[in-house]
Amino acid sequence: MNCLPELREQLVTAASRLQSTPSCDAEPEPRAAAPRRRRRRLRTSRRVLALSVGFTLLVAAVALAAAGVFSEGTALGPETAASAGEREGIALPGTSRLLPLSTPDPEGGLPWGVRVSPTTRGLTCLSVGRLDYATVGVLGQDGAFADDGRFHPLSPNYFEPLGCAVTDADGHAFVNVALRQLPASGLWAQTPADGGCQAAPPPVRDAAPEQLHTTAAPPATCPAADVREAFFGILGPDAKTITYHVPGGGTQTTPLLAPDGAYLLVFREGTIPVNPLGNGSTGGPGLAAGEIAAVTYADGNTCRVPTESLVESCSPVGYIPQKGTATPPRELATTAHVRLREANRYCTTGHITLPCEGTPPPDSKPIPSPPGQADQQQQVLAEISFRAPVAVTSSRAFYEAAISYGHVCKDNGAGAEDPTDYNIRAGQLVTITFLIPRSCAGPVSGTVQYVQADGAATATPVVGLPGQAKPVTIAQFRLQVP
């Protein structure tokens, strides 16, 4: 584990003792007459001792400051203000814990760690970062926080992308995350306020002119030596070891941290094989082809991850379902109302999309125009409203609209639209919105569905992902795109 915090405390204690020592030049209380030469030697010895201690403290302070860990900077919070009843929710007070994992960085400096946080929406969320001050955070380097050289702790409600999963009845969660092209600072999701660099993008071939044009200044490119790949997750209490690929070829097996079945691996970018059929990343309860090669469980069984696959493997072992996840379909019937709205610009509030001509409404953000279009007049907004037949109190359930076109539409196809990701009261009016290209003019039909998580699932509300029960249709609708 990192011993720098203890060294920091020792330095502070030593400095305090030094300050409480009488001045080296002050005359001591006279006990008896002493030769002048002896008093001179005593003052000289005290000066030498003080200079020695001071120099030691200075050297240690410089060393710590050079490592970027001597001072603590402002905390890094989520881009969108956290809410107890929306998205991931907020961390339950007093439940967040730093896992006793300390993985060294490939280039040295502070190690990496993982924090686990149960939330108000029934999730368990992971946060990864550089390790110091008994927590995880971001370093002020690689453009992050203006390269201030400070340690910026992650706020209690800052969660990694795809790093949340539903918590089972025994308090366990199952989630695996792979963050590629991660700056060594630890700052994954950069914002203009936080700064930060990004890995050099791959060359774009045969791109359309509108894809190459952008008005926003691109982030700075990270030095190649400052780009990492971080693989971390929790595989549950039954998982005992993982076998993973190591730089240069070959594999290595290591025990998982009990009782979570936790692991954390950090490498330099480009040193680990990538799944040829994908990017080798994962963000769910299972493992995608990439870094992890196999998982061994308490009963002796071993699950081996295919080297080339788009389907997650090694399904969670030991998940205990929550009670009351089955609701009879006859209790869920409701009526859906449809409205089409046209505008030149649209905004989003996080829950719904709405027209916004001129100044965006409060707490909303403009939606970027489609590539090659100056505005969004080539789209029409569909609003589907209904009364929720049952309450949604956590991320274990959500409502969603599934649509299909009665004609060929090259710009769109059948699929699910804007699932709810917030708590809903029984009987509450719920609106689901989605944009339809005018090139898809014609009849559109759809259903409103209620979906529950009956197994290990992610926080992402998408019908068909692992761990979700069969959707229950609660209403049907039709609309005509002009």
Condensed to tens digits (0 to 9), the pLDDT of residues 422-464 reads 999 999 999 999 888 887 888 888 999 999 988 888 888 877 7
**Mean pLDDT computed over 7-24:** 42
With a pLDDT cut of 90, the percent of the chain lying above it is 38
pLDDT higher at 220 or 40: 220
Burial of 243: CB neighbours in 10 Å, binned 0-12, 13-18, 19+: middle
Domain-by-domain residue ranges, the chain? 4-25+37-66, 97-201+213-304, 329-481
- The H or E element containing residue 302 is strand 302-304
Q: Which residues pair with 130 in a beta bridge?
A: 112, 137
User: 16 pLDDT exceeds 80?
Assistant: no
Q: What angle do CA 423, 427, 432 make, to 5 degrees?
A: 60
Q: What are phi and psi for residue 53, nearest 5 degrees?
A: -65, -45
Query: How much is the mean pLDDT over the chain?
Result: 78
* Confidence band of 260 (pLDDT split at 50, 70, 90): very high
DSSP run (H or E) holding 294: strand 292-297
Confidence tier at 140 by pLDDT (50, 70, 90)? very high
Q: How confident is residue 407, by pLDDT bands cut at 50, 70 and 90? A: low
User: What six digits make up the tokens of 218?
Assistant: 């691109």
Q: Give residues with Cβ within 8 angstroms of 49, minimum separation 6.
A: none
The CB density around residue 156, as the number of other CB atoms within 10 Å, is 20
Please count the other Cβ atoms lying within 10 Å of the Cβ belonging to residue 26.
10
Confidence of residue 149 (pLDDT cuts 50, 70, 90): very high
Look at residue 482 and tell me whether its pLDDT is greater than 80: yes
Distance, CA of 480 to CA of 482 (rounded, Å): 6
Q: What is the pLDDT of residues 278-288, one digit of tens each?
A: 555 566 788 87
> Looking at residue 103, what is its pLDDT?
95
Query: Are 99 and 262 in contact, with CB atoms under 8 Å apart?
Result: yes
For residue 119, give Cα distances in angstroms to 17, 341, 394, 436. Answer: 43, 36, 10, 35
Give the Cα separation of 330 and 432 in Å (integer).
22
- The answer to whether residue 213 scores a pLDDT higher than 70 is no
Cα–Cα distance between 347 and 363 in angstroms, integer? 10
Q: How far apart are CA 23 and CA 43, in angstroms?
A: 10
The reported pLDDT for the residue numbered 38 is 46
The CA–CA distances, whole Å, from 459 to 4, 77, 397 equal: 35, 19, 10
pTM of the model: 0.78
Selected residue with higher pLDDT from 44 and 422? 422
pLDDT at 4 over 60: no
Q: How confident is the model at residue 82 (pLDDT cuts 50, 70, 90)?
A: confident
pLDDT tens digits for range 294-341: 999 999 999 998 877 767 788 889 999 888 666 777 778 899 999 998
Q: Which residues of 76-106 are buried (b: 16+ CB within 10 A; e: fewer)?
A: bbbeeebbeebbbbbbeeeebebbebebebb
Q: Is the pLDDT of residue 50 over 60?
A: no
